[in-house]
């Protein structure tokens, strides 16, 4: 019995080694086909409908689906392992485009218009690069399906930071375990190499984890991450394979400036509006910050209610208005402002509070 158990353990270990040593192409999802990917593109395109910033990308997805159905008309139901390298690369790149678009649709909830527009620029550039990538007959067809944060959320736009940012590229055929780590580099949208480059911290066939330092020095705009894996062939050794790339939009660090106007409704018999204060609060740098403003209410001795209006200006120059909000003079109240801010007026202590809460837009970090 002990000898049998020992042999079973040996067989299990051998099977694991074979799985680890197998080329990336042997580990592809077995049910991924050209037909199923074309359907994924259709579904992703429908999810982008109604989002003006992503209209061009929706058209690109439609063109990719049509191209798949025409180019592989007789192979739509065949698994990837039955396709040649060029056809397999076509399917994988189309699959990556569909995944990126689906993540975008999942990540725009709670985003301001400017945030969604920045995310859409990154998506459009990524999908365009996938569509324009040349077909190459190489054993590995690396693709990047998403840029991921440390908490496994999809990322499209990155706020500049002084500290290194931990991110990951998730996709297919990103690394051959028999070869050195893939080359990872960052460029601007024109292909110019950045002075500070990302550093790989861990790598798997479907995942490259890295740190990206120095993002505080980057100007707002589009940047591209490039991953070029190597593949080991018999008697040849490891050789460079076609690169995979994905775009990220860099946006300014969060900063909020809030202008306010506070009026009192005075007198019960003959109500009249009395201005109590108007101005701009000190800027809030980042999330989790609070600013306060003392208000002199002596101009209204018998308040019935208070009215508050606010104007919020964001780091990207966009602005939004909120209010007027009205509350009873006997109670304090807190109202939400666009962008994840909250405004509170406490008549008991005659203080106006504004707080920047947690980020609302999931695709911007």
DSSP, residue by residue, 237-298: EEEE---EEEEEEEEPPPEEEEEEEEEEEE-SSS-EEEEEEEEEPPPEESSS-EEEEE---T
The backbone region for 155, taken as left when phi is positive above 0, alpha when psi lies in -120 to 50, beta otherwise, is beta
Identify the pLDDT of residue 226: 98
**pTM attached to this predicted model:** 0.84
User: Which structure tokens are listed for 177?
Assistant: 């375990």
User: Which structure tokens are listed for 180?
Assistant: 């050195």
User: Which structure tokens are listed for 153?
Assistant: 């959320």
DSSP 332: -
Strand duo 244-251 + 157-159: pairing: parallel
Cβ atoms of 361 and 120 closer than 8 Å: no
- Rounded CA-CA distance 184/176 in Å is 14
- Rounded CA-CA distance 113/51 in Å is 10
| 268-313 tens-digit pLDDT | 888 899 999 999 999 999 999 999 999 999 999 899 999 999 999 9
| 66-107 tens-digit pLDDT | 999 999 999 999 999 899 999 999 999 999 999 999 999 999
Contact residues for 361 (Cβ-Cβ < 8 A; gap 6+): 107, 108, 110, 111, 112, 115, 116, 119
Structure confidence at residue 360 as a pLDDT band (50, 70, 90): confident
């Amino acid at each position: 019995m002990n000898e049998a158990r020992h042999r079973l353990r040996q067989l299990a270990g051998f099977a694991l080694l074979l799985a680890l040593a197998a080329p990336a192409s042997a580990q592809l999802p077995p049910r991924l086909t050209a037909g199923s990917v074309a359907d994924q593109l259709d579904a992703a395109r429908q999810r982008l409908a109604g989002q003006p910033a992503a209209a061009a990308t929706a058209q690109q997805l439609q063109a990719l689906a049509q191209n798949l159905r025409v180019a592989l008309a007789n192979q739509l139901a065949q698994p990837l392992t039955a396709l040649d390298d060029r056809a397999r690369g076509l399917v994988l790149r189309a699959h990556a485009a569909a995944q990126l678009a689906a993540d975008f649709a999942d990540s725009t909830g709670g985003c301001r218009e400017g945030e969604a527009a920045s995310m859409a620029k990154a998506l459009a550039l990524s999908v365009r690069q996938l569509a324009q990538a040349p077909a190459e007959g190489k054993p590995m067809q690396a693709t990047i399906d998403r840029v991921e944060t440390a908490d496994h959320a999809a990322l499209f736009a990155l706020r500049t930071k002084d500290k290194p940012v931990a991110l990951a590229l998730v996709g297919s055929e990103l690394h051959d375990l028999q070869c050195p780590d893939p080359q990872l580099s960052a460029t601007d949208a024109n292909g110019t190499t950045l002075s500070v480059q990302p550093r790989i911290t861990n790598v798997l066939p479907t995942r490259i984890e890295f740190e990206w330092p120095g993002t505080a020095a980057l100007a707002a705009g589009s940047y591209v991450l490039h991953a070029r894996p190597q593949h080991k062939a018999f008697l040849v050794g490891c050789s460079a394979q076609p690169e995979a790339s994905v775009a990220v939009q860099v946006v300014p660090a969060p900063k909020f400036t809030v202008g306010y106007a506070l009026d009192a409704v005075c007198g019960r018999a003959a109500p009249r509006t009395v201005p109590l204060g108007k101005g701009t609060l000190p800027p809030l740098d980042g999330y989790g910050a609070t600013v306060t403003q003392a208000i002199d209410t002596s101009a209204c001795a018998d308040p019935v209610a208070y009215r508050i209006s606010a104007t919020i200006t964001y780091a990207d120059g966009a602005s939004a208005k909120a209010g007027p909000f009205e509350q009873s003079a006997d109670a304090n109240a807190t109202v939400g402002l666009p962008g994840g801010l909250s405004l509170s007026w406490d008549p008991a202590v005659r203080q106006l509070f504004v707080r920047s809460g947690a980020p609302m837009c999931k695709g911007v970090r």
